Amino acid sequence: MNINVSEAIKAKRERLHMTQKELADAVGLPKFGDRTIRRWENGEASPSGAELKAILDFPETVPFPNDENARYRMIDLFAGIGGTRLGFYQTGAVNIVFSSEWDKFAQKTYHANYGEMPAGDITQIDEKNIPDHDILVGGFPCVAFSQAGLKKGFGDTRGTLFFDIARIIKEKRPKAFLLENVKNLVGHDKGRTFATIRKTLEDMDYEVYHQVFPAKDFGVPQNRERIYIVGFDKNQVKNYQDFEYPVPPKTPTRVGDILEKNVDDKYTLSDKLWQGHQRRKIDNAAAGKGFGYGLFNEDSPYTNTISARYYKDGSEILIEQKGKNPRKITPREASRLQGFPNDFIIPVSDTQAYKQFGNSVAVPVIHAIAENIIKILDANTSN
């Protein structure tokens, strides 16, 4: 093997800050592709021309660079892989001045796409050290809310990750915010959790709106329902009452529109795995549980919700295949299910990619809401 090819592959991988497993998955090598990359780098085997081109052409340029001249400064909390950031980026109106995400693999994907390495654990960051900003966004996890209901307001949120959003809002006074969460947040703890969140925000003099939207109503073929909480500082935004949520276009969706062609056999379920899936679904149905795989084809209008546990539980979205067992969706298909553009870079292993897209947001929904938030802020500025 030409030593220059061997060195070129290794140099490329190191520039991308990828492991051999990550690079193998990113360029679509078959199962055990990391071993293949290792052999190529060691000069023990040679890639085909197409394989070498796929590696050397893997993008190194950030596809979604920050616009430091944009008119609104924004911070991105619990950022994940930046799906909310991307929805706002598409408006052309925001300059991201701070981001926070603790997961090192999500940080890697974030850095590859935006050219910025997020700060780590937000619970360890002093709100006074966060840059001033106009818009705050965050998809905070809903965990461990106090049972005390509305007794203590702001104090009720201590010990939860929502508290970190609240303390930053209290200190920095953004003009607007967008928070995203599971739709069950409204009914959590008989409504007390959401009432506490709402009261906490309203006590800081914010007008608070909330709406549940399914992603499929915004053009992506996935039945993902989420709550979107929008707020405006009543003292800084005089026209806050003019805010309206977008009207979902309800464009017909089709799973075939997000499917890749010529998918590698590594995504096809083995006989043993497929039998296990079928057995668990029957057992769950008998036990009165709805958990189990969903089987879809290109003509299905939409899939069920992709989960952050897609890569390790039985609620898989599976794609029918003629003449063989069904297959898992690919990471690129997972990204499309969330409305990410095709130039979004996936620099991690398949396992991490499933987790990241399952944890992320439906970008078209965020973008539509972002446009309406920007519209209010623009009108407020021109008054």
Catalytically active residues are: 142
Instruction: Give the integer Cα–Cα distance in Å for 255 and 220.
Output: 9
Q: Dihedrals φ, ψ of 361, to 5°?
A: -120, 160
Q: Within 10 Å of residue 329's Cβ, how many Cβ atoms? A: 26
Instruction: Give the integer Cα–Cα distance in Å for 80 and 355.
Output: 10
CA angle 350, 351, 352 (to 5 degrees): 95
Contacts of 332 (CB under 8 A, 6+ apart): 260, 342, 346
For the chain, count helices (H), then strands (E): 12, 9
Instruction: Give the integer Cα–Cα distance in Å for 251 and 339.
Output: 14
3-class state of residue 76 by DSSP = strand
Task: State the residue for tokens 């520039």.
Answer: 15
Q: How many CA atoms lie within 13 A of 55 on its CB side?
A: 30
